[in-house]
Amino acid sequence: MIGGEAYDSWCSGLPLGAPAEHGLASCLQDFLLYGSSVSCVCFHRWKLNDSFIVLRAGSRYSLVGGNLHISHLNKEEDVGIYQCLASNSFGTIVSREASLHIAYLENFKTQRRSPVRVREGQGVVLLCGPPPHSGELTFTWIFNQYPSFVIQDTRRFVSQKTGNLYIAKVEPSDVGNYTCVVTNTVTKTSVQGPPTPLVLRIDGVMGEYEPKIEVQFPDIVPVAKSSTVKLECFALGNPVPTISWRRVDGASFGRKVDVNKASGVLEIPYFQQEDAGIYECVAENTRGRNSVKGKLSFYAPPHLIEKPQDAQKPIDDTLVWECKANAKPKPSYRWLKNGDPLDPMEDRVQVNNGVLTISSLKLADIGMYQCVAENKHGRIFTNTELRVIAIAPDFSQNLLKAQTLARQGGDVLIECKPKMSPRGMISWRKGKEALREITVLDNGSLRIANVTKMDAGVYTCVARNQFGVASSAGSLLVKEPTVITSPAGHLDVTVGESIVLPCQVSHDPTLDLKFTWFFNEQLIHFGTHGGYFEKVGSVSRSAGDIMIRNIQLRHAGKYTCAVQTKVDSVSIATDVIVRGPPGPPVEFKVSEMTESTASLSWGPGLDNHSPILSYIIQARTPFSLGWQAVTTVPELLGGKQLSATVIDLSPWVEYEFRVLATNSIGTGEPSKPSKKARTKEMPPRVTPARVNGGGGGRSELVITWEPVPEELQSGPGFGYVVAFRPHGAQGWMQAAVTSPDASRYVFKNESIPPFSPYQVKVGVYNNKGEGPFGPVTTIYSAEEEPSRAPGRLRARSVSASEVEVTWKPLAWSNNRRRILGYEVKDKQETASVIRTVGNRTSVLIKDLEGSSTYFMSLRAYNSAGLGPQSAIVNVTTKKPRKAPSQAPVKIMWNTSNSKVILRWDQVHALENESEVTGYKVRRKACTFGEYYIPLEDCMGCTGESACIFMISKWFYRLQCNRE
């Protein structure tokens, strides 16, 4: 089997300068079984237990492409720690260590086991005593004979740590032979031990006793991160003890924790830091209690969180590499060079908590370095290459600029960056003369301050070290400075105006200009910003003016024009103040509400550079159309007025308020609306409008009105009081209508005479009390239906679709009823009703069917209903005026001199067609028109109505041309 860490290190024939992850392989590919062979990937050399493996002919060890091949594994010689060393021209690195274990399981000794004698009720432990082995084992017990296995429960327990069988309290059924079966989980092989007889003694029964814990876990159990830990606990006792678990710190078990009470095992999978602590196993029965405790300590092998990267350093430079790993407990660090520990006695080399520092680097320091982070639970390796460079000065990759531009009066830097190692000496000359009174920076660059025209020329940088000399040259050109001629400005404008911001310069004519504008230090992108900013006309070479059109409040601020050339840059700023209507007032709130007033206060908003002159307060309710101005005290709110009282509000209405400020430029945005607030309730003051009534059924008095709007009801519990009395009576009858949406009340009483006048008034009330009554109105009680039918009903057909109906009217009114009009009804299946209004005596009925008979009746009506029906009359509509649908047939013709004689059969009209009154003859060969022949003008019409048509000789000839 494999013990220790998996080998995941670089160990192949790839260049050692590559990252450590390249060529990852597992050193030991599979679990190793006794009698098999091992194949490990590596390059060059192997160590076993810190000693090099000697490869010779006939040896069991051989290298196949860098793989270590071991034939005929031997558990005495081959078990141990393996490590691979890989070398090439860059150096040597070592792999992580791999532990090789060879799994095996020998047989039990065949000697017989003595019987175990116990009393009934006593506890017993049967020892397994597993044979020599390597690899993880599992244990089971056979009772008497296979396949009868011992079933674990609260009374019987098989420890997977010792293999022993524990019986908490022996019962007569337990007597028999017990055999321990051991299985190697790696080799999958099993062996059986000799049977152990369990015999029941006859010298008495064991009495009750307190629990005695026979299976327990160690005082300290180290557990690796993310592993699974199992704790065993089992006790003997009479009665059989119960096992329970708890954490001493009182923390509850997570859902992942499995407590198997039947087998006395606590299992914690995926162990984490928070699972560490002291765990207690408690065994209890009626005779007492016993417990054991043990600490689960969390540990984790090193895990790399920061590793050094390959480095390429110049000679004499300093190298600093940091190696950092997480581990529990904290790891220690050591460094290897080419597989060997670094020399701690050398002053140039220092190792401090994983940080390696090598000063004054030499060529001898070149090689492969490894940081080893380790604790007692494991170690981890990093692989890093160091190269030390030593070269003569070289400008081939970084020549001086061919031309360097400088502004007259300014400073200039001419860079000199040759490649050389170690760092040598830098000197400068102008033309052929060496420069002495100059400023050379630490990196070798030349700085010239307050440049003049005399500084122009060719400059050469010369670099030297112990390996050689090199130089590079370039020209310095001195240009006139760029100067902005527009003065710095301060503009004061009003919202909506358009302004021009100037930016004009004088500059060296050989240099191109670039104008850039900023608003409050943000770059202006022309063509965006809503089209407010634009460059003025075709910008001249020396001017970069811009225009702001229709300026807004948000455009107030600092505008900066930046002018740039290849040698310098200058800028100018203009402050723009934009005056506009005031900003919204702030902190607007309602402090008090009465039945009809509201007290308001607010704070001034931004005046936008124009003093606030006045305020306006607006309100809205669920019943208003948007925001409306309200009446305040004081009536006029000046610019310094920051509170007011709104009056003339409706009681029991929810209001929102807002305030707007005004200055000389205009009225600004409103404040945020106040929180909704309701005025207090009070008795209603508004009575219903349009009180009316009348109509209804017999013995009814119908009273109607227009409901009072909700915003005028002044409080909850709103309703109506209806008062009425016969005209001229003294007392009033009253009725309450509780629905605020009601619009009518009907009083029904058999004593109400028909069509009698009543005085009516409607009042209001709510939970706060009664309000006023409205004005008194006279209405009439329900009248009686007409008692007689109209007389002299007549009906006359006017056309195929119209009939005129006439009658003699009834008397228009009396003291019991009125006639409001008449209702004409036709008695067909699709009966239709036509009502007239007023004292009419006829009606024209339209849209009827032609040649159809209709039965008409008539009734008078009023508000009480319809009167009796009149006698029924009938009328037949005329035939419709419809053209014949049939063409003449049996047409015959012949000619004689100047005559054309035509004959045809007469056409008879259908029932829904008008009578045939004549015929038309069309000359198809001509376009001269048509001839109409009335029947009465036809000559010699007899029998089937033959007709003679006279036509001239000229037309006859045309007619003949048709064929």
Sheet holding 165-167, edge to edge: 124-126, 165-167, 156-158
Q: Region 611-635: what's the mean pLDDT?
A: 95
> Does residue 914 fall inside a structural domain?
no
The stretch 507-528 carries a mean pLDDT of: 89
User: Are 567 and 550 found together in one domain?
Assistant: yes
In the sheet that holds 355-358, the strands lie side by side as: 319-322, 355-358, 349-352
Q: Same domain for 293 and 328?
A: no
Q: What is the pLDDT of residue 444?
A: 85
Please indicate, yes or no, whether residues 736 and 766 belong to a single structural domain of this protein.
Answer: yes
* Residues 587, 605: Cα–Cα separation, whole Å: 9
- Model confidence band, residue 41 (pLDDT cutoffs 50, 70, 90): very low
Domain endpoint, select from 758, 780, 802 = 780
The answer to whether residue 935 sits within a structural domain is: no
User: 792 burial class (0-12, 13-18, 19+ CB within 10 angstroms)?
Assistant: exposed
> Which residues span the domain enclosing 400?
391-479
Q: How many domains are there within the chain?
A: 9
Confidence grade of residue 43 (pLDDT, cut at 50, 70, 90): low
Is 289 found in the same domain as 215?
yes
Contact 702, 738 (CB under 8 A): no
In a domain? residue 398: yes
Write a three-state SS string for 350-409: EEECCEEEECCCCHHHCEEEEEEEEECCEEEECCEEEEEECEEEECCCCCCCCEEEEECC
What is the residue-averaged pLDDT of the chain? 84
Phi and psi at residue 728, in whole multiples of 5°?
95, -10
pLDDT band of 608, cuts 50, 70, 90:
very high
Per the CB < 8 A criterion, the answer to whether 4 and 81 are in contact is yes
Least confident residue range of 58-72, 168-182, 437-451: 58-72
**Given pLDDT bands bounded at 50, 70 and 90, which one contains residue 956?**
very low
Mean pLDDT, range 186-198, rounded to an integer? 91
Q: Is residue 827 part of a domain?
A: yes
Tens-digit pLDDT profile for residues 472-517: 999 999 999 999 988 888 899 999 999 999 999 999 888 989 999 9
Distances (CA, A) of 109 to 125, 158, 176, 182: 20, 21, 21, 13
CATH of the domain at 668: 2.60.40.10
Q: Is residue 629 part of a domain?
A: yes
Q: 329 and 403, same structural domain?
A: no
The mean pLDDT value for 171-180 works out to: 93
Please tell me the predicted confidence (pLDDT) of residue 923: 54
Task: State the pLDDT at residue 542.
Answer: 78
Question: One-letter amino acid identity for 29?
Answer: Q
Give the integer Cα–Cα distance in Å for 614 and 582.
Answer: 10
More confident residue, 254 or 446: 446
Whether residues 646 and 611 fall in one domain: yes
Report the range of poorest mean pLDDT among 341-345, 591-595, 668-672, 688-692. 341-345
Mean of pLDDT values over 628-640: 95
pLDDT tens digit string along 872-918?
889 888 887 777 778 888 788 777 666 777 788 888 777 667 677 77
pLDDT on residue 25: 29
> Which of 841, 876, 911 lies at the terminal end of a domain, its last residue?
876
What length does the chain have? 963
Overall average pLDDT of the 612-634 stretch: 95
Q: Which residue has the tokens 């180290």?
A: 222
pLDDT score, position 951: 38
Compute the distance between CA of residue 471 and CA of residue 444 in angstroms, rounded to an integer.
12
- The residue among 699, 680, 554, 672 whose CA lies nearest residue 618 is 672
Range of lowest pLDDT (47-61, 294-308, 310-324, 885-899)? 885-899
pLDDT beyond 80 at 437: no
Instruction: Please say whether the dihedral angle defined by the alpha carbons of residues 447, 451, 453 and 454, taken in this order, is positive or negative.
Output: negative
**What span, in angstroms and rounded, lies between the C-alpha atoms of 942 and 903?**
10
The whole-angstrom separation of Cα 703 and Cα 693 is: 4
At residue 938, does pLDDT exceed 80? Answer: no
Q: According to the model, what pLDDT value does residue 89 have?
A: 75
* Residue 371 belongs to a domain: yes
Of the candidates 914, 906, 892, which has an alpha carbon nearest to the alpha carbon of residue 938?
Answer: 906
Tell me if 128 is assigned to some domain.
yes
3-class DSSP string for 784-816: CCCCCCCEEEEEEECCCCCEEEEEECCCCECCC
Residue 68 contacts residue 151 (beta carbons within 8 Å):
no
Tell me, what's the pLDDT at 866?
Answer: 86
Mean pLDDT confidence for 918-938: 49
- Residue 947 confidence (pLDDT): 42
Residues 296, 326 share a domain: no
Q: Are 747 and 703 in contact (CB under 8 A)?
A: yes
In a domain, 590, yes or no: yes
Does 203 lie in the same domain as 113? yes
pLDDT value of position 912: 67
Q: Which two tokens stand for residue 869?
A: 């029906």
179, 150 contact by CB (below 8 A): no
Question: Looking at the structure, do residues 241 and 259 belong to the same domain, yes or no?
Answer: yes
On whether the CB atoms of residues 858 and 793 are closer than 8 A, the answer is yes
First to last CA, the chain: 120
Task: Give the range among 78-87, 459-468, 845-854, 893-902 with minimum mean pLDDT.
Answer: 893-902
Which residue shows structure tokens 């003093």? 611
Residue 461 predicted with pLDDT over 90: yes
pLDDT over threshold 70, residue 389? yes
Look-up: residue for tokens 């493996």?
Answer: 53
pLDDT band at 661 (very low <50, low <70, confident <90, very high): very high
Higher pLDDT, 310 or 885: 310
Domain boundary among 780, 814, 836: 780
Share of the chain above pLDDT 90, in %: 46
Mean pLDDT, to the nearest integer, of 538-556?
83
Query: Exposed, middle or buried, 920 (CB in 10 Å: 0-12/13-18/19+)?
Result: exposed
Please give the Cα distance from 614 to 662 (Å, whole number): 5
pLDDT score of 815: 60
Residues 124 and 201 in one domain: yes
The predicted pLDDT at position 278 comes to: 93
338 or 31, which is more confident?
A: 338
* pTM score of the predicted model: 0.45
CA neighbor of 708 nearest in space, from 746, 741, 735: 741
Residues 6+ apart with CB under 8 A from 515: 503, 539, 544, 561, 562, 563
Among 210-219, 643-652, 899-908, whose mean pLDDT is lowest? 899-908
Specify the residue for token string 């925001």.
627
Q: What is the mean pLDDT of residues 113-128?
A: 92
Residue at 465: amino acid letter? N
Of the chain, the percentage scoring pLDDT greater than 70 comes to 88
Are 365 and 430 members of one domain?
Answer: no
